[in-house]
Amino acid sequence: MILVTGGAGFIGSNFVLDWLAQSDETVINLDALTYAGNRENLNSLDGNSRHVFVEGNIGDSKLVTKLLEQYQPRAVINFAAESHVDRSIHGPEDFIQTNIVGTFHLLESVRAYWSALPVDAKQDFRFLHVSTDEVYGSLSKDAPAFTETNRYEPNSPYSASKAASDHLVRSYHHTYGLPVLTTNCSNNYGPFHFPEKLIPLMIVNALAGKSLPVYGDGQQIRDWLYVKDHCSAIRRVLEAGKLGEVYNVGGWNEKPNIDIVHTVCALLDEARPRADGKSYREQIITVTDRPGHDRRYAIDASKIERELGWKPAETFDTGIRKTVNWYLENQQWVANVQSGSYRDWVAKNYSER
Ligand code: NAD
């Protein structure tokens, strides 16, 4: 039995689906169902008795303690977070509450549970914290990619709040001996990605005939990893990671944002040509760069490959093709997530686009 937090979000739901497909263990899925949490991602699990969904907050110590005592999981995997950089610029408070205060309360509940476990179960227990490469800050064009020993230099309220949570997790290992593992991963893409993030936003806007907003010169470089590869890395770290260690996870796919947008347009041109015969590229527009926008992130994932034998299965070419096809085949999912609070938020914050 494992307890996953944030398992109705983008990566968490992919993880829960993969986990249940690949193992016999039950998953307790604790998610607060914020705007980013979507029960629909888990529709295929309806009637699956190995998936127990609980709506609730990681900061609710009473609830978390009750779940831990009732289900006695052998691991807790923490995906729950506020995760969108733009939102953290417009309103940082939720990021502090969930990513810092929420993680702190979760750690406290887990520590109390773990301390009371019998010796064998105590040794086998793991707390795996899922984090981001954004904690390392921004790289210049020719600097070597981030390794696990890079200094933390977060530049947005999002990355600062994740950095704080990483430090708390580390401190619970060093101070209390809690058996923790941390992964810092680069940008994910794939099914169930909320359409406020670059790749799904471009696909969805292109198909709707809307503009494709690119920040500044579009030369911000990110490393991209297909979400299923992130899930397999987390499973591997959970299985064989050394306690207290940090593992960088990445796809060895550094790309400027504008190249990503061009690739998405080319795939859509092929799969769903525009009625006027023109390329979707015609819809690209430039918008003012966001404040503090990091120029480059690049992950050196050699430690996880060397020590745990993990490598991504997808190249960017295969992963992005699967992703575009998934969005083409799941238009109803897109329509559903675009209703309600998401629509209101976009109207308020992206009205200039
Ligand atoms: P997401 O925003 O899609 O999902 C987050 C989930 O957490 C949602 O289901 C939401 O309802 C839930 N949640 C939020 N606050 C909660 C709370 N207080 N209690 C319980 N549940 C809560 O995020 P994601 O993209 O799936 O990211 C998951 C994790 O992976 C985050 O910790 C993020 O920092 C990290 N990460 C993401 C990426 C990426 O490219 N998306 C890359 C590296 C690391």
Q: Identify the pLDDT of residue 348.
A: 59
Given the structure tokens 């039950």, which residue do they identify?
A: 26
Q: Whose alpha carbon is nearest atom 10 of ligand 1?
A: 37
Which tokens hold the place of 55? 């709506």
At 29, which amino acid appears? N
Mean pLDDT, consecutive 10-residue stretches, the chain (353 aa), reads 97 98 97 94 96 98 98 98 91 96 98 98 98 94 94 95 98 98 97 92 96 94 96 98 98 95 98 97 92 87 98 97 98 86 56 36
Does the beta carbon of 187 sit less than 6 angstroms from any atom of ligand 1? yes
Cβ-contact 305, 311 below 8 angstroms: yes
Ligand 1 proximity of 34 Cβ (cutoff 6 Å) = yes
Nearest CA to ligand 1 atom 13: 80
Catalytic entry in 31, 113, 136, 158:
158
How many C-beta atoms lie closer than 10 Å to residue 145's C-beta?
21
Pull the structure tokens for residue 303: 């430690």
Amino acid code (one letter) for 221: I
Question: HSE on the CB side for 202, CA within 13 Å?
Answer: 28
Question: 28 pairs with which residues across the strands?
Answer: 3, 52
94 annotated active-site? no
- Strand order across the beta sheet in which 221-226 lies: 187-189, 221-226, 254-256
Q: What is the pLDDT of residue 106?
A: 98
pLDDT value at position 291?
80
CA of 185 to the centre of ligand 1 (A): 12
Q: How far apart are CA 230 and CA 185, in angstroms?
A: 8
The pLDDT of residue 351 is 43
The answer to whether 313 and 228 have CB atoms below 8 angstroms apart is yes
ipTM of the complex: 0.99
Burial 177-203 (b: 16+ CB within 10 A, else e): ebbbbbbbbbbbbbbbbbbbbbbbbbb
* Alpha helices for the chain (secondary structure H): 10-22, 61-71, 85-90, 93-95, 103-115, 119-124, 157-176, 198-207, 227-240, 257-271, 302-308, 316-329, 331-337, 341-349
Q: Is 41 in the pocket of ligand 1 (CB under 6 A)?
A: no
CB neighbour list of residue 106: distance below 8 Å, 6 or more residues apart = 5, 58, 59, 64, 76, 78, 80
Q: Please write down the long-range contacts of 315-320, taking CB distance under 8 Å and 24 or more positions apart.
A: 315/253, 316/224, 316/251, 316/253, 316/255, 316/263, 318/226, 319/189, 319/190, 319/224, 319/225, 319/226, 319/229, 319/251, 320/189, 320/199, 320/260, 320/263, 320/264, 320/267
Any ligand 1 atom below 6 A from CB of 227: no
Q: Is 185 in the pocket of ligand 1 (CB under 6 A)?
A: yes
Q: Map out the domains of the chain with their CATH numbers.
A: 2-192+225-252+292-314 (3.40.50.720)
CA of 37 to the centre of ligand 1 (A): 8
DSSP line for 175-208: HH---EEEEEE-EEESTT--TTSHHHHHHHHHHT
Paired strand residues for 29: 4, 53
216 within 8 A of 259, measured Cβ to Cβ: no
* Ligand 1 atom closest to the CA of 98, numbered from 1: 18
Q: Is the pTM of this model over 0.90?
A: yes
Q: How many whole angstroms from 87 Cα to the centroid of ligand 1? A: 13
Residue 247, phi then psi, degrees to nearest 5: -125, 125
